[in-house]
Copies of this chain bind each other. A is one copy, B any other.
């Protein structure tokens, strides 16, 4: 048993809660009621079979299981939103496009490292390389992370 049959909305709510620190703030941000968010979280915890949030008097904090779920939920939500933008035929927003140039010596492993790390935390960000670099490194970079075309 896991959160296999959870709702996409539940994952979105959970991410918002994790980001804001209180159910109330997340509810306001998403246009829901406190109770709705509370039940979404409860349902997600029931589906996951684990407590995801530590309840405190001033809000909530992620448990270890909560951090684990958050990592996956963030990727899932980003992928859905990215697919939605693709379907709408829109190019990526400027804020989600990163243009990057670097020196060949630094790019050997530092750049792929940074890009992969970025890809884990913000999968929806598109990376665009600068033309005119060493062809081999450009290929390696493209291999490390390439979101669109």
The reply to whether A139 and B87 contact each other, CB–CB distance below 8 Å, is: no
Docked complex: A32-51 residues within 8 A CB-CB of B: 48-50
> Which of B1, B8, B109, B113 touches A5 (beta carbons < 8 Å)?
B8
> Which of B1, B4, B116 touches A80 (beta carbons < 8 Å)?
B4
**CB within 8 Å for A83 and B112 given contacts A8-B6, A76-B76:** no
What's the nearest-Cβ distance from chain B to residue A85, in Å? 7
- CB neighbours of A49 from chain B (8 A): 87
- CB neighbours of A5 from chain B (8 A): 8-9
What's the nearest-Cβ distance from chain B to residue A118, in Å? 10
Interface segment among A18-26, A98-106, A141-149: the answer is: A141-149
